[in-house]
Amino acid sequence: MSLEVWAEKYRPKTLDEIINQRHVVARVKVFVEEKNIPHMLFAGPPGTGKTTMALCIARELYGDQWRANVLETNASDERGIDVIRGKIKDFARTIALGGAEYRIVILDEADALTADAQHALRRTMETYSATVRFILICNYSSKIIPPIQSRTAVFRFKALSEDDVREFIQRIVKGEKLKIDEAAVKAVIYLCEGDLRRAANLLQAAAALGDKITEEMIYEVASQARPDDVKRMLENALKGRFKEAREILYKMLVMQGLAGEDVVREIHRQIYALNIPEKAKVELVEAVGECDFRISEGADALIQLEALLARIAASKAKAG
């Protein structure tokens, strides 16, 4: 049975359906027509069509047999480069179906790889370049080491405009025969921040609330679906209730297994909404930055975030 998730259901199936990114589509089409693609690097904000582009290329090259000729792997899920290398090696050894000369490896969230792992990946890319083409996907190309960048065609995906998001919303509205007012559409555009995946999720959840989607329903979904754990955690810390703050942190990192970076990013986002002096916000940004840096250097997220929370709690106590 198909997974009834609109973000997936309305994911473009052909290059022509992709929302905007015309500069990329135009060049990729040439590669596809010549049946010869280089190694590629797609960089850009989330929800702008990078993975979709890669999947569309595979469909156009291999038709119905695309799944057999594509290895989708994700750097943030595969522990260590050795796993990735092993998978790629096994994959590269078998011959492409349907007479294709090479197969495709899509390596998503490639910026999750350390520099060392990327160097190992570079060698793997060279070793198998006769039979395998790589499409690396990341948010920031600066996180990819220069030797890899120089071996790939780098494509930067643009942040999507309001009109782009609106176009995508209209597709879903038409496809699902939704009733939605203009204020609700504007709310989705505002809340999704150019991320089409989030736009689809917001619409789908709101549609479950009633026949006609309103602005209120969109905001209701956004507030319900955005876990307010981080907010509650910060509020507790600010009131000097460290133990309670720590419990919430434990729930997120240990029970739910959320990535430390995601929690840090969310804290960063919320700083400006906190009820503290303006100057304290700036100080907090610095502390969060230090915490983020340490985690990126390999320190334990739980420990570093605990230290951050304890610091927030103590600074409040000092201020009175």
Partner 1 sequence: MWTVKYKPRSLKEVADQTEAKTRLLKWFEAWKPGSKAALLYGPPGNGKTCTVEALAREKGLDLLETNASDVRSEERIEHFLGRGVRETSLLGTRGKLILIDEIDGLQAQSDRGGVRAIVKIIRESVFPVVLTANDPWDRKLYEIRSLCELIEFKKVPVRDAVKRLAEICQREGVKADPQALKAIAERNQGDLRGAILDLETLARGRKQITLRDLEILGKREREADIFEALRGVFKSRSALSAKLSVINVDMDPDEVFWWIEQNIVNEYERLEDLAEAYEALAKADLFRSRVIRRQNWRMQAYMMDLMTAGVSQAKREPYRKFTRYQRPERLSFFSKTMAERERLNSLLGRLASRLHCSTRKVKTEFLPYLLYLAQQDERFARRLASALEASKEDLKMLASFYG
Interface residue list for partner 1 (CB under 8 A): 1-5, 7-8, 11, 46, 51, 55, 72, 74-77, 108-109, 197-198, 201-202, 204-205, 208-209, 221, 224-227, 240, 242-243, 246, 250, 254-259, 262, 294, 297-300, 302-304, 306-307, 309-311, 313-318
Is the CB of 149 or the CB of 315 nearer to partner 1? 315
Helix, strand and coil percent figures for the chain, each rounded to 5 = 65, 10, 25
Q: What is the residue-wise DSSP string for 234-247?
A: HHHHHTT-HHHHHH
Indicate the angle between helix axes 81-93 and 115-127, nearest 10 degrees. 10
Is the CB of 95 or the CB of 210 nearer to partner 1? 210
CA dist 147 and 164 (Å) reads: 34
- Minimum distance, C-beta of residue 48 to partner 1, in the bound complex (Å): 13
Is the CB of 178 or the CB of 307 nearer to partner 1? 307
- Minimum distance, C-beta of residue 150 to partner 1, in the bound complex (Å): 26
- Minimum distance, C-beta of residue 61 to partner 1, in the bound complex (Å): 17
Amino acid at 7: A
CB neighbours of residue 279 within 10 Å: 8
CA dist 27 and 174 (Å) reads: 30
- Minimum distance, C-beta of residue 99 to partner 1, in the bound complex (Å): 26
Is the CB of 151 or the CB of 177 nearer to partner 1? 177
- Minimum distance, C-beta of residue 318 to partner 1, in the bound complex (Å): 7
H/E run at residue 115: helix 115-127
- Minimum distance, C-beta of residue 264 to partner 1, in the bound complex (Å): 12
- Sequence-ordered list of residues with C-beta below 8 angstroms from that of 124, at least 6 positions apart, any chain: 84, 85, 88, 89
Q: What is the dihedral of CA 154, 155, 158, 163, to 10 degrees?
A: 180
- CA separation, residue 208 to residues 121, 180, 182 (Å): 44, 13, 18
Is the CB of 109 or the CB of 167 nearer to partner 1? 109
Place of tokens 């809340």: 191
Is the CB of 209 or the CB of 285 nearer to partner 1? 209
Is the CB of 75 or the CB of 184 nearer to partner 1? 75
- Minimum distance, C-beta of residue 303 to partner 1, in the bound complex (Å): 4
